[in-house]
């Protein structure tokens, strides 16, 4: 059931969004440590009272901005149709990863500011929750496909989910540090192929428990 918002509620929501958008620009431009609340007020065109109605201070605002960015990807992947073919789900996963990387680059230095904040306990908790939830979503999709015989039965879906996230983080770090070194569009097909080969049913992987050949 749709809940109708009153005009004051709608205005409050719009003001909060203006603050977040202004903070994103200022944090990317100046850095979290160098940004003063006053700069965000000027950027957003709001009063100090309006700011503190929504946020207790700069740290709470930065955390809200971080949480918004982290949750966006999870919500998008949760919306993937579980009835889709394994290949379609993989391609959607890869597309979301690449879109996310491009968004990081477009945000300027904002992603560096988020990563630097991970030294703080409140930011580490946000990142940890994000990665656990992401793992659960990916593992859930793999598990459903496994039950349908579309993913190999011996696959540890949680380990596979962690590995897929780790590859994303590695590529994202390389791309952030060397934007010209990786062409993201060219990765789509190969990335999807590698994941599909990793998860699809087929001959069991060879055992490495025996004596290695010399």
pLDDT reported for residue 169: 84
pTM of the model: 0.75
Between CA 160 and CA 117 the distance in angstroms is: 28
Q: Which CATH superfamily is domain 1-55 in?
A: Homeodomain-like (1.10.10.60)
In degrees, rounded to 5, the angle at the alpha carbon of residue 169 between the alpha carbons of residues 25 and 21 is: 15
Per run of 10 residues, the mean pLDDT along the chain (length 214 residues) is 70 91 90 91 94 93 87 77 78 85 74 79 85 90 90 95 89 81 84 92 53 40
3-state secondary structure the chain: CCCCCCHHHHHHHHHHHHHHHHHHHHHHHHCCCCCCHHHHHHHHCCCHHHHHHHCCCHHHHHHHHHHHHHHHHHHHHHCCCCCCCHHHHHHHHHHHHHHHHHHHHHCCCHHHHHHHHCCCHHHHHHHHHHHHHHHHHHHHHHHHHHHCCCCCCCCCHHHHHHHHHHHHHHHHHHHHHCCCCCCHHHHHHHHHHHHHHHHCCCCCCCCCCCCCCC
Q: Which CATH superfamily is domain 59-199 in?
A: Tetracycline Repressor, domain 2 (1.10.357.10)
- On the CB side of 187, how many CA atoms lie within 13 Å of its CA? 20
Between CA 151 and CA 22 the distance in angstroms is: 44
CB 165 within 8 Å of CB 138:
yes
Between CA 4 and CA 166 the distance in angstroms is: 42
Q: Rounded to 10 degrees, what is the CA torsion of 26, 29, 32, 38?
A: -40
Residue 150 has phi, psi (to 5 degrees) of -95, -10
Q: Where does CATH 1.10.357.10 sit in the chain?
A: 59-199
pLDDT reported for residue 52: 94
pLDDT reported for residue 112: 76
The residue assigned the tokens 């696959």 is: 155
Q: Where does CATH 1.10.10.60 sit in the chain?
A: 1-55
pLDDT reported for residue 33: 85
């Amino acid at each position: 059931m749709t809940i109708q918002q009153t005009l004051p509620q709608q205005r409050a929501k719009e003001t909060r969004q203006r603050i977040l958008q202004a903070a994103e620009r200022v944090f990317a431009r100046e850095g979290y440590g160098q940004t003063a609340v006053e700069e965000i007020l000027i950027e957003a065109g709001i009063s100090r009272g309006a700011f503190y109605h929504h946020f207790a201070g700069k740290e709470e605002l930065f955390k809200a901005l971080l949480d918004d960015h982290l949750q966006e990807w999870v919500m998008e992947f949760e919306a993937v149709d579980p009835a889709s073919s394994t290949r379609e789900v993989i391609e959607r996963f890869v597309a979301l990863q690449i879109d996310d990387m491009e968004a990081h680059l477009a945000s300027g230095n904002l992603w560096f500011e988020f990563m630097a904040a991970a030294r703080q306990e409140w930011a580490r908790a946000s990142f940890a929750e994000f990665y656990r939830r992401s793992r659960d979503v990916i593992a859930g999709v793999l598990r459903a496909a496994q039950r349908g015989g579309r993913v190999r039965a011996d696959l540890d879906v949680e380990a596979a989910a962690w590995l897929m996230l780790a590859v994303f983080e590695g590529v994202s770090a390389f791309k952030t540090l060397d934007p010209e070194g990786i062409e993201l569009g060219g990765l789509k097909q190969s990335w999807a192929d590698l994941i599909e080969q990793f998860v699809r049913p087929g001959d069991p992987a060879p055992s490495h428990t025996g004596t290695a050949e010399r």
